[in-house]
Homo-oligomer: A and B are copies of this chain.
Amino acid sequence: MDPKLQDLKTRLLEASDLDAVNRVLSWDMETYMPPGGGAARARQSATVAQIAHEKFTDPAIGKLLDDLRPYEESLPYDADDAALLRVTRREYERAVKVPPAFMAQLYSHMNSTYQIWAEARAANDFARVRPYLEKTLDLSRQFAEYYAPYDHIADPLIDMADYGMKAATIRTLFAALRGRLVPIVEAITDRPQADDACLRRHFPEAGQWAFGLDVARQIGYDFERGRLDKTHHPFTTWFSVGDVRITTRVDEHYLGDALFSTIHEAGHAMYEQGIRPDYEGTPLGHGTSAGVHESQSRLWENVVGRSLPFWQHFYPKLQAIFPEQLGDVSLETFHRAVNKVERSLIRTDADEVTYNLHVMVRFDFELQMLEGKLAVADLPEAWRERYRADLGILPPDDKDGCMQDVHWYGGIIGGAFQGYTLGNILGAQFYETAVKARPAIAAEIAQGRFGVLLGWLQENIYQHGSKFTAPELVERVTGGPLSIEPYLRYLQGKYGELYEL
């Protein structure tokens, strides 16, 4: 190997390992850290983050990228080394634009805001967190300014999560989707509601835990290279291709919570576990965008995990674990229950049809706040109005209104929400392509065999990590650009049948 490429890879590995170390610190903080550990941990984590940033933005990396440009240009676009140099350059140029002092300020502010939000939310006291959120908005705008010029101030922030996407593109896309979604929601809510009482009986934790482990294992999450723990909010994290962990939470009075969170996180995790091991320690060694990542979690959670074939296989096993709770519930009733559609207050609890309406509210608010058209002080009222207009329900308080979600209070404003709906769209688009290529997928799932689907995803998506951008990947995999049609076909097919539309 060219010694300069070797040098570059060694430096990237070091920076990447420090990022991974920081994720270990976060994972521990969320899972097992005793209360007394918090103060020192925040400081330790900031120290590691700063060193990782210094290592990655070392001018020596810029010099190596310059020196290696002729080599990169001599390679075909799809060559691994070309992709490595291209993606590294993109991330390097992004990282060096922001002064380390600003990153430290942002990091420290986000830490305080998160603490205050947790308290303010419990007390339903938006006024308490308001000055922090105003500062967050301020810092988010400053952050974007480092990337000027832009078409829209949100563009640089969106670009970080979903490279190649812009506010204008997403606005158009969301408007089109919204126009087609709202009639579906209205048609469904005109019909008699599905009854999900069978999910709201008492399900002891041990049984839920055993079932969740079994489902994750059977769909293909590799426990030799991962583990499942309990946290307040479910998440996925990765320290290497050999150690990709997921978490979930358990509500003994709602079966859906732990189960679908586990499948969702297993979807994220199988993506990370499936990346080519030789990409580890480089900017290619993780999922390519928020939207593509979410496409995998939502595909496994909803398209697979709420499908009839999935429950044809798993429902008898679940009944065996909970004979008293589910012995009198038919497969059809259970399947309808896990697909109940209703207008609700909380995004993370929303069904897969109305979910996007929640996302669109947030996305619009992010743009308006960044544009200076919506003041933080006016957010609670704007939130109530919009939920009444869009979801048809009035949030009773700010706690479950504009303070419901950790986003904005644990990170910047901008770029945080579009990925969820992009994921719904792409998940359906990828799945439709997969089924075209492997028509047996649904029948296999009904038999408890997930390898055909997983193998196809692995081959076409997972292994590539960040080698291709999301738009490139969609084009390569589906033969065309991102499209909302497969998602709408999926919703119309599934819910048309379930609700006899």
CB contact list, A1-44 vs B, under 8 A: 13-14, 17-18, 20-21, 24-25, 28, 32-41, 43-44
Bound state CA distance, A47 and B18, in angstroms? 8
Bound state CA distance, A13 and B229, in angstroms? 31
The yes or no answer to A77 lying at the interface (CB within 8 A) is: no
Min CB gap A465→B, angstroms: 15
Task: Provide the A131-142 mask, 1 if CB < 8 A to any CB of B, else 0.
Answer: 000000000000
Bound state CA distance, A17 and B43, in angstroms? 8
The yes or no answer to A226 lying at the interface (CB within 8 A) is: yes
Q: Which residues of chain B are near A223, meaning CB under 8 Å?
A: 34
A24-B24, A24-B28 known; A240 vs B41 contact (CB < 8 Å): yes
Majority SS of interface residues in chain A?
helix
Checking B20, B37, B43 against A225 with a beta-carbon cut-off of 8 angstroms, the contacting residue is B37
Checking B20, B25, B47 against A40 with a beta-carbon cut-off of 8 angstroms, the contacting residue is B20
A24-B28, A227-B32 known; A243 vs B44 contact (CB < 8 Å): no
Task: Provide the A216-236 mask, 1 if CB < 8 A to any CB of B, else 0.
Answer: 000000111111010000000
Bound state CA distance, A35 and B25, in angstroms? 19
Identical chains in the assembly: 2
Bound state CA distance, A37 and B20, in angstroms? 12
Q: Chain B residue with minimal CB distance to A229?
A: B32
Bound state CA distance, A13 and B44, in angstroms? 9
Checking B38, B44, B240, B280 against A20 with a beta-carbon cut-off of 8 angstroms, the contacting residue is B44
The yes or no answer to A487 lying at the interface (CB within 8 A) is: no
**In the bound complex, do residue A40 and residue B224 qualify as a contact, i.e. CB atoms below 8 Å apart?**
no
**In the bound complex, do residue A35 and residue B239 qualify as a contact, i.e. CB atoms below 8 Å apart?**
no
A: contact size bracket: 35 or more
**In the bound complex, do residue B240 and residue A34 qualify as a contact, i.e. CB atoms below 8 Å apart?**
no
**In the bound complex, do residue A240 and residue B48 qualify as a contact, i.e. CB atoms below 8 Å apart?**
no
**In the bound complex, do residue A34 and residue B227 qualify as a contact, i.e. CB atoms below 8 Å apart?**
yes
The yes or no answer to A242 lying at the interface (CB within 8 A) is: yes
Q: Which residues of chain B are near A28, meaning CB under 8 Å?
A: 24, 28
Q: Which residues of chain B are near A224, meaning CB under 8 Å?
A: 34-36
Q: Which residues of chain B are near A226, meaning CB under 8 Å?
A: 34, 36
**In the bound complex, do residue A225 and residue B21 qualify as a contact, i.e. CB atoms below 8 Å apart?**
no
The yes or no answer to A51 lying at the interface (CB within 8 A) is: yes
CB contact list, A232-253 vs B, under 8 A: 239-243, 245
**In the bound complex, do residue B227 and residue A36 qualify as a contact, i.e. CB atoms below 8 Å apart?**
no
Bound state CA distance, A194 and B47, in angstroms? 55
**In the bound complex, do residue B239 and residue A47 qualify as a contact, i.e. CB atoms below 8 Å apart?**
no
**In the bound complex, do residue A240 and residue B37 qualify as a contact, i.e. CB atoms below 8 Å apart?**
yes
**In the bound complex, do residue A243 and residue B47 qualify as a contact, i.e. CB atoms below 8 Å apart?**
no
A40-B280, A239-B41, A242-B38 known; A25 vs B21 contact (CB < 8 Å): yes
Interface residues, chain A, CB within 8 Å of chain B? 13-14, 17-18, 20-21, 24-25, 28, 32-41, 43-44, 47-48, 51, 222-227, 229, 239-243, 245, 280
